[in-house]
C-alpha cells in the first residue's frame, strides 16, 4: 500500500496571503502547504481523499493521472472546491467517477455542483464536463470501492461531523476535534495513522498539537503523520519536537505500508 499526501495545510494554505512570518517566508519546501488531501493506493486501486482547491496541481506534481473513486470527509470548501478537476479523469474513464461520503456532504455537493451530477444537464457537442456518482456510507459499516474494503469513522468538527477512513492498515482522519471511542476502535491495529493537528493552543473545532499527540497515543499506530498544519509551525521545528514514531507530514510525502 502507498499513501501520498497531496496537501497538508489548513484552509488558508501556507504561505498565507499577506503574511510575512518566518514560516510563510521559509525556504524549506516542506513549509509550502496546499490544502489538505491524499491518495491511498491499494492493490492497484487509487482512492482520492477529498478534492482540495489545488487538486489539478497536486495530481500533476505527484504524477497521478487517474483515480478510481473519491472519499469525501466533509463539505468544507478546502476539501471540495477542486471537484471540477475530476473532469480530466471522468472524461478519460468515459463515465462518472464514484464518490462516497456522509449523506449530508453529498447532498450539498449535489446542490453546489449540480452540473457534475445531473445527467439531464447535457453538454454542447464538442465540449465536456466532470461527471460523478454519489453513494452515502455509514460509519462502522465496511463498504467496497473498486474491490477494496473501506470503513468510515465519524468524528466531531464543531457543528459538523467529519468522516475519517480506514483502508487496510492506513487510517486517515482530518478536521477532528476529538476521536470518539468508536473511531478509536475502528482504527485499532493500523500501521499508519494520519491525524490533523492545528495550533499549539486549543481550538474549538480542531485538535491542537498536544491533543493530537495524545489522541495518536490512544490509537497506538507504529507511525503517525500529522496534517492540516498551519503557518505557525515550521516543519523542522515540529519534526524535532514530536515523539518517536510521530512526524509532521508535508506535501508530496509518500508512505508505504505492507499489505
Report the CATH number at residue 64.
3.60.15.10
Question: What is the extent of the structural domain holding 229?
Answer: 2-256
How confident is the model at residue 121, as a pLDDT? 84
> Do residues 51 and 83 make contact, with C-beta atoms less than 8 angstroms apart?
yes
pLDDT along the chain (259 residues), means of 10: 98 97 98 98 96 98 97 97 97 95 98 93 88 97 96 94 97 96 97 96 91 97 98 96 97 95
DSSP H helix total and E strand total for the chain: 8, 14
Virtual torsion, Cα 166, 106, 195, 255, nearest 10 deg: 60
**Number of neighbouring beta carbons within 10 Å of residue 185:** 12
The span from the CA of 129 to the CA of 1, in Å, is 31
How confident is the model at residue 122, as a pLDDT? 85
How confident is the model at residue 259, as a pLDDT? 77
> Do residues 238 and 248 make contact, with C-beta atoms less than 8 angstroms apart?
yes
How confident is the model at residue 125, as a pLDDT? 87
How confident is the model at residue 120, as a pLDDT? 83
> Do residues 123 and 137 make contact, with C-beta atoms less than 8 angstroms apart?
no
Spell out the alpha helix ranges (H) of the chain.
55-61, 77-80, 87-93, 103-112, 114-117, 181-187, 209-219, 235-241
Q: Based on the structure, what is the number of domains in the chain?
A: 1
Give every CB contact of residue 59 below 8 A, 6+ residues apart in sequence: 6, 65, 85
Which pTM value belongs to this model?
0.96
> Do residues 179 and 173 make contact, with C-beta atoms less than 8 angstroms apart?
yes
The span from the CA of 245 to the CA of 225, in Å, is 9
Spell out the alpha helix ranges (H) of 44-84.
55-61, 77-80
Amino acid at each position: 500500500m502507498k499513501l501520498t499526501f497531496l496537501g497538508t495545510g489548513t484552509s488558508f494554505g501556507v504561505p498565507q496571503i499577506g503574511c510575512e512570518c518566518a514560516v510563510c517566508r521559509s525556504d524549506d519546501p516542506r513549509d509550502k502547504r496546499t490544502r489538505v488531501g491524499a491518495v491511498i493506493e491499494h492493490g492497484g486501486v487509487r482512492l482520492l481523499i477529498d478534492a482540495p482547491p489545488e487538486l489539478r496541481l497536486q495530481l500533476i506534481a505527484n504524477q497521478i493521472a487517474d483515480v478510481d473513486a473519491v472519499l469525501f470527509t466533509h463539505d468544507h470548501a478546502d476539501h471540495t472546491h477542486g471537484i471540477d478537476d475530476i473532469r480530466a479523469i471522468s472524461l478519460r474513464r468515459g463515465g462518472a467517477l464514484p464518490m462516497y461520503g456522509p449523506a449530508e456532504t453529498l447532498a450539498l455537493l449535489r446542490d453546489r455542483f449540480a452540473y457534475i451530477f445531473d445527467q439531464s444537464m447535457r453538454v454542447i457537442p464538442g465540449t465536456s464536463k466532470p461527471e460523478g456518482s454519489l453513494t452515502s456510507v455509514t460509519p462502522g459499516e465496511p463498504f467496497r470501492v473498486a474491490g477494496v474494503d473501506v470503513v468510515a469513522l465519524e468524528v466531531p468538527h464543531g457543528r459538523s461531523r467529519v468522516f475519517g477512513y480506514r483502508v487496510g492498515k492506513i487510517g486517515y482522519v482530518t478536521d477532528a476535534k476529538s476521536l470518539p471511542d468508536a473511531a478509536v476502535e475502528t482504527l485499532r491495529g493500523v500501521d499508519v495513522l494520519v491525524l490533523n493537528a492545528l495550533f499549539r493552543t486549543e481550538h474549538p473545532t480542531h485538535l491542537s498539537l498536544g491533543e493530537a499527540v495524545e489522541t495518536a497515543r490512544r490509537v497506538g499506530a507504529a507511525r503517525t503523520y500529522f496534517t492540516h498544519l498551519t503557518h505557525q509551525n515550521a516543519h523542522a521545528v515540529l519534526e524535532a519536537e514530536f515523539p518517536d514514531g510521530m512526524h509532521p507530514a508535508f506535501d508530496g510525502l509518500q508512505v508505504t505500508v505492507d499489505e
